A and B are shown apart, each in its own frame.
Chain A
Amino acid sequence: MLAYSLKRLLLAVLVAVTVSVGSFALLRAAGDPAVAMAGHSATASDIEFIRETYGFNRPLPVQYADWLVKALQGDFGESLYFRMPVSRMLADKLPTTMTLGGLALAFALCVGLPLGIIAAIRPNSWIDRTALLISVTGQAMPTFWFALVLVVLFSITFPLLPPSGSGTWKHFVMPTVVLGYYATPAIMRLTRAGMLEVLASDYIRTARAKGLHPAVVLLKHALRNAVIPVVSLSAVQFGFMLGGSVVVETVFALHGTGQLAWESISRSDLPTVQAIVLVLSSFYVVLSLIADLLNAWLDPRIRVA
Chain B
Amino acid sequence: MSHALRAAAAAATAILLSFAAPVPASAGKADDTLNIAWAGELPTLDRYFNVLREGELVARMVFDSLLTVDPQTFDYKPLLASSYRFVDNRTIEFELRRDVRFHDGEPFDADDVVYTLNLMADPATRVLSRQNVDWIEKVEKIDTHMVRLTMKAPTPLALEYLSGPLLIYPRDYYSKVGSQGMGLRPVGTGPYKVTAFDPGKRIVFEANRAYFDGSPKGRPTIGRIVQRTIPDQNTQIAELLSGGVDWIWNVPNDQAAKLASMPNVVVQNAQTMRFGYLAFDASNRTGHSSPVNDVRVRQAIAHSIDRKTIVKRLVRGASEVIDAVCFPTQFGCVQDVATYDYDPVKAKALLAEAGYPNGLDIEFHAYRDRPVAEAMIGYMKAVGINAKLTYLQYEALRDKVYNGETDFTFMSWGSYSINDAAASVSQFFKGSKDDYARDPQVIGWLEGADSAIDPATRKDLYGKALRRIAEQAYWQPLFTYNVNYVHSKDIAFTPTADEIPRFYAVTWK
Contact = CB atoms under 8 A, between A and B. Distances in A.
Nearest to A156: B20
Contacts of A35: 395, 398-399
A38 B20 CA distance: 40
Contact of B232 (A37, A41, A50, A253): A253
Contact of B395 (A31, A82, A153): A31
Interface string A133-162: 000000000101100110111011101001
Nearest to A31: B395
B231 A151 contact: no
B20 to A, nearest CB: 5
B314 interface: no
Interface residues of A, number: 50
Interface in A10-51: 30-32, 35-47, 49-50
A180 interface: no
B11 interface: yes
B41 to A, nearest CB: 6
Nearest to A44: B433
A50 B127 CA distance: 10
A157 B180 CA distance: 44
Interface string A232-253: 0000000000000000001111
Contact of B128 (A36, A46, A165): A46
A157 B19 contact: yes
B242 A148 contact: no
Determine which residue in A40, A43, A153, A259 has the highest number of CB atoms from chain B within 10 A of its CB, and name it. A40
B259 to A, nearest CB: 13
Contacts of A268: 395
A49 B130 contact: yes
Interface stretch (B44-52, B66-74, B93-101): B44-52
B337 to A, nearest CB: 24
A101 interface: no
Given A82-B200, A142-B5, A250-B231, A31 B51 contact: no
Nearest to A164: B235
Contacts of B242: 155-156, 159, 162-163
Nearest to B392: A31
A152 B242 CA distance: 9
A111 B13 CA distance: 29
A83 interface: yes
Nearest to A269: B43
A46 B398 CA distance: 13
Interface in B211-241: 228-232, 234-235, 238-239, 241
Interface string B163-195: 000000000000000001001000000000000
In the complex, the 7 A-B pairs of residues with the closest C-beta atoms, listed nearest first = A39-B51, A31-B395, A148-B12, A163-B238, A44-B433, A82-B43, A253-B230
Interface of B: 5, 8-9, 11-13, 15-16, 19-22, 24, 41, 43-44, 49, 51-52, 126, 128-131, 180, 183, 199-201, 228-232, 234-235, 238-239, 241-242, 244, 393-396, 398-399, 402, 413-414, 416, 427, 432-434
17 contacts: A41-B51, A44-B434, A46-B130, A83-B44, A83-B49, A84-B199, A145-B9, A151-B235, A159-B242, A163-B242, A164-B228, A250-B231, A251-B235, A253-B230, A255-B200, A260-B200, A263-B231
